[in-house]
Copies of this chain bind each other. A is one copy, B any other.
Amino acid sequence: MYGYQLRSEFEASTGSTWPLNVGQVYTTLARLERDGLVEPVGESDAEGRVTYRITDAGRAEVAGWFATPVNGESPPRDELAIKLAMALTTPGVDTHRVIQTQRTATLRSLQDLTRLKARADEQADAAWLLVLESMIFKAEAEVRWLDYCEVRITAAPPPAPVELPSKEVVR
């Protein structure tokens, strides 16, 4: 395929959710070519299009990707978890409020996702549908986790206020 085409396919399948800057397609294509995973087939054609083709190395890379499990983020960069952890240990932050704010936001996005899913169901794009369902699962899990946290922290109140200023730390 050529760059513009890749973008078109993508936009079509995601129903123009998930905006994708065309420029990024070209930068990525260039980087893939640099790494030998992809190669241009001939020069630009009459309409100025430059078609690319996957190489053997590229195929190997893809195969490897499919064969290798995704290692769930180590170290953990989960912003929400970190935020809650920080809220809990930072004096003067209403953790309860933070949780509630997040909860309503997550519920709202869950609604949006459900709406999108309905659209995707009609459209019958299996790939995009799968991604959406994954997001729904995640959002639901997030709500469950938030509820769990709430119980957890109301049960065990802040573990004695920390004294920040003094505290000789290292050694």
Q: Identify the A interface with B (CB < 8 A).
A: 1, 4-5, 8-9, 17-20, 62, 65-76, 78-90, 93, 98, 101-102, 104-106, 109, 124, 126-128, 130-131, 133-135, 137-142, 144-145, 148-149, 159, 169-170
Q: What 13 new A-B contacts, CB under 8 Å, besides A9-B169, A124-B159?
A: A5-B170, A17-B75, A18-B76, A67-B98, A67-B101, A69-B105, A70-B102, A78-B134, A81-B130, A81-B134, A85-B131, A88-B127, A89-B127
Are A134 and B145 in contact (CB-based, < 8 A)? yes
Residues of B within 8 A of A93 (CB): 66
21 cross-chain CB contacts under 8 A = A1-B169, A9-B169, A17-B75, A18-B76, A19-B75, A20-B75, A66-B83, A67-B101, A69-B101, A69-B106, A78-B131, A78-B134, A82-B131, A85-B131, A88-B126, A89-B127, A124-B159, A134-B145, A137-B141, A137-B144, A137-B148
In the complex with contacts A66-B98, A141-B137, A148-B137, A75-B18 CB distance below 8 A: yes
Q: Which residue of B lies closest to A130 (CB)?
A: B85
Are B127 and A72 in contact (CB-based, < 8 A)? no
Are B137 and A5 in contact (CB-based, < 8 A)? no
Q: Which residue of B lies closest to A101 (CB)?
A: B69
Residues of B within 8 A of A76 (CB): 18, 131, 134-135
In the complex with contacts A80-B134, A134-B80, A137-B148, A159-B126 CB distance below 8 A: yes
